[in-house]
Amino acid sequence: MHSHTDYLWFDTKKRHELVNITDRVAGIVAASQVQEGLCLVSAMHITAGIWVNDEESGLKHDVMEWLEHLAPAGDYRHHQTGEDNADAHLKRTLVHHQVILPITAGALDLGPWEQVFYAEFDGCRKKRVVVKILGE
Amino acid sequence: MHSHTDYLWFDTKKRHELVNITDRVAGIVAASQVQEGLCLVSAMHITAGIWVNDEESGLKHDVMEWLEHLAPAGDYRHHQTGEDNADAHLKRTLVHHQVILPITAGALDLGPWEQVFYAEFDGCRKKRVVVKILGE
Amino acid sequence: MHSHTDYLWFDTKKRHELVNITDRVAGIVAASQVQEGLCLVSAMHITAGIWVNDEESGLKHDVMEWLEHLAPAGDYRHHQTGEDNADAHLKRTLVHHQVILPITAGALDLGPWEQVFYAEFDGCRKKRVVVKILGE
């Protein structure tokens, strides 16, 4: 068995952003030399998520608008602590904060349109994603 | 360590459908001969998901109606590409597109009512699910 | 390769409850002696989930209120079976019912504010969570 761990750092320019990280994750998979296995990609900060979907600008706009509709910025109890980002915690919950990518024959085994996005909902600060690979 | 990969194909008759795949996944687990491990079941198309819940027709109706309420068909920017299925991308996001099933003593280690469903939101076309098992 | 399986039992006093299980999961990881691996934490009952987020009472109140808004208690087809908990099935779907935690250097590799919660949406009865560790 072989394991491999790496971290991706983000510091987005905008508060809300979808960053396509497919190539970066593929690079970590290649570095791991794992041929058959599972690759966890998980946002370590609780106001960001990981989203697997289409690299299409209209859809990316749609999903962010829709998340704002379902989990709007506004007044929350969490803000009594001095924070202003409760909606980002909720948006991360909807998108989910992690994904497991299968590795087959040494590469990410993705569907034809599957792309992996880091979904930032409270950006403009340094944040981390863990990539953990287990396999052979 | 042992790994095993298989794919399930779907071509649903209806645009929206919940297909119980528990037995098919259990069959792949048996074929893998893995006794202790993890089994990833992940929809490879970005308008379908995997849902673990109850095999009860009323509830299955409820969840599809509720998803339509939270992520309705309608007018989206994504449709400027000629597509008409943005809502299916959003529904997949709510349900999540994958699950990890534990394997204990050679079988799926599920709770008493846990059943695994392929959740199709834009059907009537061929689509794939990857099943990847890692264990010993 | 090494695997380790354990179960956590819950019997909450309230119907809706968020129970911080980070230390209990960390204890299982320690007992497993796995140094590098993946730890699945998955609710085995279909009206409960696993949520990774902040241990902050205001936010915990916010998320439960928000789930009630998006998946309200009410009248559902599922209730024709005699059940009254369809909303709990939907709330579990939003939160998702499982998480994979990375294990690095023998410990949970969590972000600075990541805490693991058992999210009960239909409590006051005995329920189980499976913890399955795979690694080396």
Q: What percent of chain B has pLDDT over 90?
A: 99
Confidence bin at C36 (pLDDT 50/70/90): very high
0.95 surpassed by complex ipTM: yes
Q: Please answer yes or no on whether B98 and A99 come within 8 Å at the CB atom.
A: yes
Residues of chain A with Cβ-Cβ distance to B41 below 8 Å are none
Confidence bin at A80 (pLDDT 50/70/90): very high
Which distant-in-sequence residues (6+ apart) come within 8 Å of C96 by Cβ? A96, B96, C49, C50, C51
Q: Please answer yes or no on whether C94 and B94 come within 8 Å at the CB atom.
A: yes
C100 closest CB neighbour out of A1, A5, A40: A40
Q: What percent of chain C has pLDDT over 90?
A: 99
Q: How does pLDDT run across A122-131, given as a tens digit for each residue?
A: 999 999 999 9
SS3 category, A45: coil
> What is residue A59's predicted lDDT score, i.e. its pLDDT?
98
Overall average pLDDT of the A33-55 stretch: 98
Q: Please answer yes or no on whether A36 and B3 come within 8 Å at the CB atom.
A: yes
> What is residue C46's predicted lDDT score, i.e. its pLDDT?
97
Structure tokens at A47: 């106001």
Which distant-in-sequence residues (6+ apart) come within 8 Å of B84 by Cβ? none
Confidence bin at B98 (pLDDT 50/70/90): very high
Mean pLDDT score of chain A, rounded to an integer?
98
The dihedral over CA atoms of C102, C103, C105, C107, expressed in degrees to the nearest 10, equals 120
